[in-house]
A and B are shown apart, each in its own frame.
Chain A
């Protein structure tokens, strides 16, 4: 998965091309490059490294060209080398292409092109597109015809942008199963993988659909259907985000910024109208079978949703990881699949939804990014409105998804008679109080958590334990720890211990326990017994607890008492901070952990 940006303008584009691709770095950052039209030939500058590093070598910002495309890469086909960095050119340097996605039939196409004399410089699937264009242009002598014919030959997923010396004022772009949008500015038009590519310059966008291609010049753009070749009439969408919001402001990292934005993000989630929640609740009530879908963090969100729906709404709604869903999918016309995705572009989730739709299932989704693939493909979407999440490690988006599932559970619980009106009101009041409680943690516990993170930064192996609804919390917390610190952390239900894992426990394995409030009764007692099991084997136990009387821990963080329905979210926030501060103690690349990218748009 990669980031694409492109600018066609009346004015020099160096700065905008650089900023555009830099704002897309969360999509990939192992190499980067640009191509632009320079005095009747195409010049490509690229290298390995982050956008800043590459800029310092090849001077992107200094460009005076008026048309150009740029790319930041996250390797899928071929190693991280200068040759494999985009843009790619064909034999005679007349075409330059940037690509996000995977061309499935690239081997066959490559062999075919090699047979007729094309010479390849890289190992990428992208380079074949440039050669294919060159070949088709040789045959037809018309750029647009060559473009269409090349696109039709491609199988797999792609978002593409291309410039050519044969049509030097225009950028050609297209999408199939990978996101691409056009930005409509004044005296300039843009191409980007998402809004971040040009949000500083324009908020007006045109969203390409699968099977459409666009032609963008400095003063116009048009979108056509790949199948019919006819112009498609597209609406302009105005992006509501302020570019200021997508910057770090006073924070050292986006991760901390996004953790600190959670009180506000939860407030926005609580202000989403009841009708929107009720509409999805209607679908859930009408369906005979409902599945919650997510992958990675959003799978844990879905799992937490399963617990919430069981306890509050007396409903059995299994959570399934969307990378596995296709193997299990037995949905039919009476099924509903409710998917959860921050970016709305998650490949596995898109594919699962498509699969379920083909079987006739209804679909719904909770998504953060407006206009994303998932938001557009489902029957009903709840836009979570959490604002841009830039850090690869999801914090606020995940918490808000949990809150929205809680609202769904309360709505369904009330309809099904599982909750009395008074109980529902009490739970809603508890949700309303949650932002304030999170603020208190951020203000008054940060230093304690940071000190604990530095004390325990040497730990190589963590066990994160929770029971009941604290089990998905433990899973999600462990994922945060793994992603951002590169330290092994394993989330597990407390009951699993004596069925195997207990043999791992020694004085080097540290255990973080998520204790429910004492009011949880049996759940609290059962969790404490897990603590005893670890302690008895000489394990170090760090407790997140609501009760100062729980003092059998080697280290602990005591939280202020909270109502049952919202209590699980508070230690989750603490665990996000613990992962963050451990990462800073270990000097990790917090916002862009190695090998990870923000939205996983490849298989």
Chain B
């Protein structure tokens, strides 16, 4: 079976990270969402994958190229302007052969285990269109509500009110007949109508997903997804090509990739991830749920806690980075503090598209875009967002932007 991944959405709520990459290229637990999706597809025997790319699509194509390296045949279709899911699907029409079924997956979804096993198992028992459904963590009106009769989907309410907060929602994983392209076209690119048509005939079956599921919409969702994936790790994995000094302490599932250097006195509490060719200086404390992308450099005496560094970043000595996400190629000067809570322990608000949005999280630090430089001795308020390329001088105190 072939697969179609949609990554063309603009992801405006995921600023500052979506300003320079598609959502699917954000990183959790040491790998991009895209890499996870692709390896899950490969695990269930998919070989041909079409990826719809939009803005910053080159981040996808340059990373995965023709897919040879990860054992897949990848083809790309461009969606120049964001035109919604229906538009994205139609663009890939010519890649699929009528009469077959294909897997459709949204690129911004993270699951704690491979969702395609179950979707295909459901498909094999029903031999009919399948939509993965799940119950999102805390009830929310963010997603369309699904109504079930057994596993048959009878109704999808696109804009739910607060009364239907307990419903199953579409999980962004489908097994659909290629005929669906014609339906999309006929229904003037309205997915609601497409699903309604499928429900009438031949029927749309739910495949209920009970493992972890996160749709990465807001920047703090990256931290939740990172945590969810790391919670599935059960053992430590340390590359034989990592260089580890004496007097380094590991506890729990610590993962260290080849070429990394861990200096004496460092303490690493799993689950945590140290990517390829990282440098972790003397007396660094890496607390659980920290993920360091490749070629990160952590100076002497730094404390990291529940944070994701995409990679190629430097954190100067004696800094604290907690409950924060750091983009690619960021340079944080020594002695920088992220503040990760409000004085009154109320949930931290984050500015999203100019509006403060309540994250619901009491502990939350900052979100620092690609290529940012933060001078030494700075203090970043809880909920800080620094757009890509920002330069903060030494000794400045930054309030929310």
- Asked whether B138 lies within 8 Å of A442 as measured between CB atoms, the reply is no
- Asked whether A250 lies within 8 Å of B130 as measured between CB atoms, the reply is yes
Interface hit among B51-59, B161-169, B319-327: B161-169
- Asked whether A249 lies within 8 Å of B122 as measured between CB atoms, the reply is yes
Q: B149, B206, B210 — which one has the most chain A CB atoms within 10 A of its CB? A: B210
- Complex Cα distance, B147 from A447, in Å, reads 12
Q: B135, B137, B206, B211 — which one has the most chain A CB atoms within 10 A of its CB? A: B135
- Asked whether A252 lies within 8 Å of B208 as measured between CB atoms, the reply is yes
- Complex Cα distance, B205 from A439, in Å, reads 16
List which A430-470 residues lie within 8 A (CB) of chain B.
439, 442-451, 454
- Set B126, B135, B148: member contacting A450, Cβ < 8 A: B135
- Return the chain A residue nearest B169 by Cβ: A447
Interface hit among A26-34, A256-264, A291-299: A256-264
- Asked whether A443 lies within 8 Å of B206 as measured between CB atoms, the reply is no
A447-B166 contact in complex given A244-B125, A250-B151, C-beta closer than 8 Å: yes
- Complex Cα distance, B208 from A260, in Å, reads 11
- Set A249, A253, A446: member contacting B168, Cβ < 8 A: A446
Dominant secondary structure of chain B at its interface with chain A: mixed
- Return the chain B residue nearest A260 by Cβ: B150
A439-B149 contact in complex given A244-B125, A247-B125, A250-B125, C-beta closer than 8 Å: yes
> What number of B residues sit within 8 Å (CB to CB) of A?
30
| Nearest chain A CB to B127 CB, angstrom units | 11
- Return the chain B residue nearest A449 by Cβ: B166
List which A213-266 residues lie within 8 A (CB) of chain B.
244, 247-253, 256, 260-261, 263-264
Taking CB atoms, residues of chain A closer than 8 Å to B138 are 451
- Complex Cα distance, B165 from A142, in Å, reads 71
Contact-size category for A: 20 to 34
Taking CB atoms, residues of chain A closer than 8 Å to B313 are none
- Asked whether A447 lies within 8 Å of B206 as measured between CB atoms, the reply is no
- Asked whether A256 lies within 8 Å of B210 as measured between CB atoms, the reply is yes
- Return the chain A residue nearest B160 by Cβ: A444
Taking CB atoms, residues of chain B closer than 8 Å to A445 are 166
- Asked whether B210 lies within 8 Å of A253 as measured between CB atoms, the reply is yes
- Complex Cα distance, B147 from A442, in Å, reads 9
List which A171-195 residues lie within 8 A (CB) of chain B.
none
- Asked whether B151 lies within 8 Å of A252 as measured between CB atoms, the reply is no
- Complex Cα distance, B205 from A186, in Å, reads 34
- Asked whether A444 lies within 8 Å of B126 as measured between CB atoms, the reply is no
Dominant secondary structure of chain A at its interface with chain B: helix
Mark contacts of B159-194 with chain A using CB atoms, 8 A cut-off: 1 yes-contact digit, 0 otherwise: 000011111100000000000000000000000000
- Asked whether B148 lies within 8 Å of A442 as measured between CB atoms, the reply is yes
- Set A263, A443, A450, A584: member contacting B147, Cβ < 8 A: A443
- Asked whether B166 lies within 8 Å of A252 as measured between CB atoms, the reply is no
Taking CB atoms, residues of chain B closer than 8 Å to A248 are 121, 125
Mark contacts of B249-263 with chain A using CB atoms, 8 A cut-off: 1 yes-contact digit, 0 otherwise: 000000000000000
Is B16 close to A, CB under 8 A? no
Is B209 close to A, CB under 8 A? yes
- Complex Cα distance, B206 from A264, in Å, reads 17
- Asked whether B167 lies within 8 Å of A446 as measured between CB atoms, the reply is yes
- Return the chain A residue nearest B146 by Cβ: A443
- Return the chain A residue nearest B121 by Cβ: A248
- Complex Cα distance, B135 from A454, in Å, reads 12
- Complex Cα distance, B207 from A413, in Å, reads 44
- Return the chain B residue nearest A252 by Cβ: B210
- Asked whether A448 lies within 8 Å of B139 as measured between CB atoms, the reply is yes
Taking CB atoms, residues of chain B closer than 8 Å to A247 are 125
- Return the chain B residue nearest A253 by Cβ: B210
Taking CB atoms, residues of chain A closer than 8 Å to B271 are none
A444-B151 contact in complex given A250-B122, A250-B205, A454-B137, C-beta closer than 8 Å: no
- Complex Cα distance, B163 from A446, in Å, reads 13
- Asked whether B137 lies within 8 Å of A451 as measured between CB atoms, the reply is yes
A447-B210 contact in complex given A249-B125, A250-B130, A442-B148, C-beta closer than 8 Å: no
Is B118 close to A, CB under 8 A? yes
- Asked whether A260 lies within 8 Å of B210 as measured between CB atoms, the reply is no
Taking CB atoms, residues of chain A closer than 8 Å to B126 are 249-250
- Asked whether A444 lies within 8 Å of B164 as measured between CB atoms, the reply is yes
- Asked whether B147 lies within 8 Å of A261 as measured between CB atoms, the reply is no
- Complex Cα distance, B131 from A334, in Å, reads 57
Taking CB atoms, residues of chain A closer than 8 Å to B210 are 252-253, 256, 584
Mark contacts of A509-541 with chain B using CB atoms, 8 A cut-off: 1 yes-contact digit, 0 otherwise: 000000000000000000000000000000000
List 28 interface pairs A-B (beta carbons < 8 Å), by A numbering.
Answer: A247-B125, A248-B121, A249-B122, A249-B125, A249-B126, A249-B150, A249-B205, A250-B151, A250-B206, A250-B207, A252-B118, A252-B211, A260-B148, A263-B149, A264-B150, A439-B149, A442-B148, A443-B147, A443-B167, A444-B165, A445-B166, A447-B135, A447-B165, A447-B166, A447-B168, A451-B137, A451-B139, A454-B137
Which A residues fall within an 8 A CB radius of B? 244, 247-253, 256, 260-261, 263-264, 439, 442-451, 454, 584
Additional pairs, 17, CB under 8 Å, beyond known A260-B150, A261-B150? A248-B125, A249-B126, A249-B205, A250-B151, A250-B206, A252-B211, A260-B151, A443-B146, A443-B147, A444-B163, A444-B164, A444-B165, A444-B167, A446-B167, A448-B166, A451-B139, A454-B137
The 8 closest A-B CB pairs, nearest first, are A447-B166, A250-B151, A448-B166, A252-B210, A250-B122, A250-B207, A447-B135, A445-B166
